A and B are shown apart, each in its own frame.
Chain A
């Protein structure tokens, strides 16, 4: 395992969890399975160290925290003091110039990413990727474009480890205050035509010969959350035949908007139209079958179709995990049947 400051997602695997954070490591795992994930790169905690040392921020932050510590660290009483300390540290991080030997490679990676996604300046999501989940480390910046802005937002993510909440959390849990290394993911924004899930079995009857694909326009959250009736296709895996199709009345979809995602109306003319083409469905099944074969177990996977790319390059994967289904061997028939009854109430 080569320790670097910047990695392409495809170089990663779960071995890199501590270095680049869970989010990035998981995407790397998907790539290893032969799945195409949204293009992007990750900055490791080494990049953070480099930045903090080269800019002198390491000492500066320690000094700010040290002064505060001498004055007494009372997270309950001195709320204003905490806010003030957070503000000073974050401003210092965001204002410090990125060292050229780090800024250069970041800009280079961004240029390559832009080329891969069709040239120009591609819009990216810049987000934190921690090895463990921690309050305050949830920063995500959407629609970031251009080298300068990417670099600025990387610093913003690093600074987010010093939000008031994050600082208070570390003080209360006796963790180091002034040293908070975190991974950063820079990933292209998907322009989602449609998204959804595939299960490589019919979960309610345990039929492993068939797969079910469900999808909606826009991003996948609306399918997973069950807010709308998605399109639903049952595919015979061996024959690669779409055996049944149910087109939902898809009134709403999830899109990127503002600083996150929002629910919006699907144009009326589209509501009753299939959100994916047959060839896209079959391609989704083909890839999911490979993953299933690799693990030897049914899979539950999330896919997105990006409208900027031509088939079959337009299908991206954002999640893969073993499918949860009521396995007959696990319980007695009665328990399985009760589980099936529950499904009736989840339409």
Chain B
């Protein structure tokens, strides 16, 4: 019998789980490096719940969401495909009704969800965790669990809806205009929208402007981000600036995680060094640069492209194509904005509540250090929640910490397959599911090598443009500070908390990505070229190399071979 440890009921068990699917895919985008048990518990339980909730609410004809398992700190997933044609037809009928809110009043629906979920965050934040009673603290933790579950419901319902629309948009632009997501025109059609993530980044930029106006530019540039707070405290102007900065962080700017899908790293609010780095980068780059104007330029480009494109379409088809275009545009800005309100914010809430519990448990002697709480799971928090002093959870922490260190050292395989099952079969299943999220996030467009172009790497266009620059290979956010203006960022994938450095970049090359991945969307917003799905960028390219990327062609050339 399988003994469940970190995620009861949802740990991978090959004696039964191959009956669900002969192949399980590793979610390398979110669970590398391996999750701590606490975060793995949240993700596997509720991302899984959200996907099945979303697929069911929309009655997607071919897929009932994804099943997830936890194994050695990794998330493994399999698609729940609807095989019976009669059931598919019945689901189609319900889909027709269920999808209507997306075409009727998308912005209104989304605003309702944002108000709901932000209301829940505010309630969680209202409790002073260190002054709260044990019972209040446990209550806050339970509400954090409920909030996370609700966040994933909204997340996946929205995502399935907008991605379906986006896949349709791609198909229609291909059929009617002969362009696909590797074409610059395609991206111009969906960029240049204002959104919350963009606004938060803009506020950071405004802070840099303020600092310059207050005469703090030289101090900020000369001081390392890690000691910035102390340095600013020592002058009156510095204190004034720090107050504005802290307000911004408390209200909105600070509720983001450095690593989107993990809670064992501080939020910006706790550790503002990344925010100071962004401000420093802006000052270096020069604050005359106007982000809003840049966005408006994108917007003007978009409107011009829309006009161009609509003229190419037969008059009787224009009106419904316009409807699809609007849906796809909603999808593009939603993809960027939802990170702010959903994943990043909710995970910051998990971090906040869990750390509150951790501090209490450490104080009462249940565990050694607050961070040890990440090696517990909610059942154990409940066990010790009201009377922490009565329990000793050190053995559990020590055992799981050792496990986790092992997971981190060993890594996890990209797939777990039943004997005799081939990778091709697995990929085929993925495509046959017609799951819009699987298609847009997991699969993407495969590059075609074109020897006549004599490039060193072949990928697909995430955002159009041609640029030369110096390579900086980035694996984690800590390394972002080595970027200087005009550099070419090379990474396995990019994360939402990296967005601010995009204003400095000359271009981006990522190993994996699809037209709705972070690098592509943000690259389009900043108008810099992005080449995706090159697979071996981080392997082949080294810091300091000079490269030319031609995103229009999907090619990368090493200039100083």
Q: Please, how many angstroms separate the alpha-carbon atoms of A206 and B172 in the complex? A: 12
Q: Is A336 an interface residue (CB 8 A)?
A: yes
Assess whether A340 is in contact with B434, with CB atoms less than 8 Å apart: no
List B residues 151-177 near A (Cβ within 8 Å). 164-165, 167-168, 171-172, 175-176
List B residues 88-119 near A (Cβ within 8 Å). 88, 92, 95-96, 99-100, 103-104
Assess whether A345 is in contact with B168, with CB atoms less than 8 Å apart: no
Q: Is B62 an interface residue (CB 8 A)?
A: yes
Q: Is B234 an interface residue (CB 8 A)?
A: no
Assess whether A344 is in contact with B164, with CB atoms less than 8 Å apart: yes
Q: Which residue on B lies nearest to A329, using beta carbons? A: B316
Assess whether B327 is in contact with A337, with CB atoms less than 8 Å apart: yes
Assess whether A345 is in contact with B61, with CB atoms less than 8 Å apart: yes
Chain B contacts for A202, CB-based, 8 A: 175
Chain A contacts for B324, CB-based, 8 A: 337, 340
Residue of A202, A336, A342 with most partner-chain B CB within 10 A:
A342
Q: Please, how many angstroms separate the alpha-carbon atoms of A171 and B104 in the complex? A: 55
Q: Is A134 an interface residue (CB 8 A)?
A: no
Chain A contacts for B167, CB-based, 8 A: 344
Q: Is A347 an interface residue (CB 8 A)?
A: yes
Assess whether B323 is in contact with A334, with CB atoms less than 8 Å apart: yes
Chain A contacts for B316, CB-based, 8 A: 206, 328
Assess whether B88 is in contact with A338, with CB atoms less than 8 Å apart: no
Bits for A312-347, please: 1 = Cβ < 8 Å to B, else 0: 000000000000000010000110111111101111
The answer, among B88, B103, B176, B323, for a CB contact under 8 Å with A205, is: B176
* A205 with B317, Cβ < 8 A, contacts A340-B172, A341-B164, A344-B167 known: yes
Assess whether B61 is in contact with A328, with CB atoms less than 8 Å apart: no
Chain B's nearest CB lies how many Å from the CB of A205?
A: 6
Q: Which residue on A lies nearest to B431, using beta carbons? A: A347
Q: Is B505 an interface residue (CB 8 A)?
A: no
Bits for A187-219, please: 1 = Cβ < 8 Å to B, else 0: 000000000000000101111000000000000
Chain A's nearest CB lies how many Å from the CB of B83?
A: 12
Assess whether A338 is in contact with B99, with CB atoms less than 8 Å apart: yes
* A334 with B172, Cβ < 8 A, contacts A341-B165, A345-B434 known: no
Interface residues on B, range: 20 to 34
Chain A contacts for B100, CB-based, 8 A: 334, 338
Assess whether B92 is in contact with A333, with CB atoms less than 8 Å apart: no
Q: Please, how many angstroms separate the alpha-carbon atoms of A339 and B320 in the complex? A: 11
Interface of B is mostly: helix
Chain B's nearest CB lies how many Å from the CB of A10?
A: 37
Assess whether B171 is in contact with A344, with CB atoms less than 8 Å apart: yes
Q: Which residue on A lies nearest to B60, using beta carbons? A: A345
Q: Please, how many angstroms separate the alpha-carbon atoms of A146 and B398 in the complex? A: 86
Residue of A206, A328, A333, A347 with most partner-chain B CB within 10 A:
A333
Q: Is B319 an interface residue (CB 8 A)?
A: yes
* A206 with B323, Cβ < 8 A, contacts A341-B165, A341-B168, A342-B95 known: no
Chain A contacts for B96, CB-based, 8 A: 338-339, 342
Q: Which residue on A lies nearest to B95, using beta carbons? A: A342
Q: Please, how many angstroms separate the alpha-carbon atoms of A347 and B88 in the complex? A: 12
Residue of B92, B168, B327 with most partner-chain A CB within 10 A:
B168
Assess whether B164 is in contact with A337, with CB atoms less than 8 Å apart: no
Assess whether B434 is in contact with A337, with CB atoms less than 8 Å apart: no
Chain B contacts for A207, CB-based, 8 A: 175
* A328 with B434, Cβ < 8 A, contacts A337-B168, A342-B61 known: no
Chain A's nearest CB lies how many Å from the CB of B504?
A: 38
Assess whether B99 is in contact with A341, with CB atoms less than 8 Å apart: yes
Chain B contacts for A333, CB-based, 8 A: 319-320, 322-323
Assess whether B319 is in contact with A347, with CB atoms less than 8 Å apart: no
Chain A contacts for B319, CB-based, 8 A: 328, 333
Chain B contacts for A342, CB-based, 8 A: 61, 92, 95-96
Assess whether A205 is in contact with B62, with CB atoms less than 8 Å apart: no
Q: Please, how many angstroms separate the alpha-carbon atoms of A342 and B88 in the complex? A: 11
Assess whether B323 is in contact with A337, with CB atoms less than 8 Å apart: yes
Chain B contacts for A338, CB-based, 8 A: 96, 99-100, 103
Q: Please, how many angstroms separate the alpha-carbon atoms of A342 and B92 in the complex? A: 7
List B residues 133-160 near A (Cβ within 8 Å). none
Q: Please, how many angstroms separate the alpha-carbon atoms of A328 and B436 in the complex? A: 25
Q: Which residue on A lies nearest to B428, using beta carbons? A: A249
Residue of A334, A336, A338, A340 with most partner-chain B CB within 10 A:
A338
Assess whether B434 is in contact with A205, with CB atoms less than 8 Å apart: no
Bits for B372-407, please: 1 = Cβ < 8 Å to A, else 0: 000000000000000000000000000000000000
Q: Please, how many angstroms separate the alpha-carbon atoms of A207 and B434 in the complex? A: 24
Chain A contacts for B95, CB-based, 8 A: 341-342, 345
Q: Please, how many angstroms separate the alpha-carbon atoms of A204 and B165 in the complex? A: 14
Assess whether B175 is in contact with A205, with CB atoms less than 8 Å apart: yes
Q: Please, how many angstroms separate the alpha-carbon atoms of A347 and B175 in the complex? A: 15
List A residues 221-255 near B (Cβ within 8 Å). 226
Chain A contacts for B172, CB-based, 8 A: 205, 340
Chain A's nearest CB lies how many Å from the CB of B506?
A: 37
List B residues 208-254 near A (Cβ within 8 Å). none
The answer, among A204, A334, A345, for a CB contact under 8 Å with B103, is: A334
Q: Please, how many angstroms separate the alpha-carbon atoms of A347 and B171 in the complex? A: 12
The answer, among A204, A206, A226, A347, for a CB contact under 8 Å with B434, is: A347
Q: Please, how many angstroms separate the alpha-carbon atoms of A202 and B314 in the complex? A: 14
The answer, among B168, B176, B317, for a CB contact under 8 Å with A344, is: B168
Residue of B100, B323, B436 with most partner-chain A CB within 10 A:
B323
* A340 with B168, Cβ < 8 A, contacts A333-B320, A334-B104 known: yes
Chain B contacts for A328, CB-based, 8 A: 316-317, 319-320
Q: Please, how many angstroms separate the alpha-carbon atoms of A338 and B103 in the complex? A: 8
Q: Please, how many angstroms separate the alpha-carbon atoms of A258 and B259 in the complex? A: 63
Q: Please, how many angstroms separate the alpha-carbon atoms of A259 and B100 in the complex? A: 47
Chain A's nearest CB lies how many Å from the CB of B107?
A: 15
Chain A contacts for B168, CB-based, 8 A: 337, 340-341, 344
Q: Please, how many angstroms separate the alpha-carbon atoms of A341 and B85 in the complex? A: 17
Bits for B315-347, please: 1 = Cβ < 8 Å to A, else 0: 011011011100100000000000000000000
Residue of A204, A205, A336, A346 with most partner-chain B CB within 10 A:
A205
Chain A contacts for B104, CB-based, 8 A: 334
Q: Please, how many angstroms separate the alpha-carbon atoms of A346 and B322 in the complex? A: 23
Residue of B100, B172, B320 with most partner-chain A CB within 10 A:
B320
Assess whether A337 is in contact with B320, with CB atoms less than 8 Å apart: yes
Chain B contacts for A205, CB-based, 8 A: 172, 175-176, 317
Chain A contacts for B176, CB-based, 8 A: 205
Q: Which residue on A lies nearest to B327, using beta carbons? A: A337
Given A333-B319, A337-B168, 16 other A-B residues pairs in contact with their CB atoms under 8 A: A202-B175, A207-B175, A328-B317, A328-B320, A333-B323, A336-B320, A336-B323, A337-B323, A337-B324, A338-B103, A340-B168, A340-B172, A341-B99, A341-B165, A345-B60, A345-B88
Interface residues of A (CB under 8 A from B): 202, 204-207, 226, 328, 333-334, 336-342, 344-347
Provide a sorted-by-A list of 26 A–B residue pairs whose CB atoms are within 8 angstroms. Answer: A202-B175, A205-B176, A328-B317, A328-B320, A333-B319, A333-B320, A333-B323, A334-B100, A334-B104, A336-B320, A336-B323, A337-B323, A337-B327, A338-B99, A338-B103, A341-B95, A341-B99, A341-B164, A342-B92, A342-B95, A344-B168, A344-B434, A344-B436, A345-B88, A345-B95, A345-B434
Interface residues of B (CB under 8 A from A): 60-62, 85, 88, 92, 95-96, 99-100, 103-104, 164-165, 167-168, 171-172, 175-176, 316-317, 319-320, 322-324, 327, 434, 436
Shortest Cβ-Cβ A-B pairs, 9 listed: A345-B61, A334-B103, A333-B320, A333-B323, A345-B62, A337-B323, A336-B320, A345-B434, A341-B168
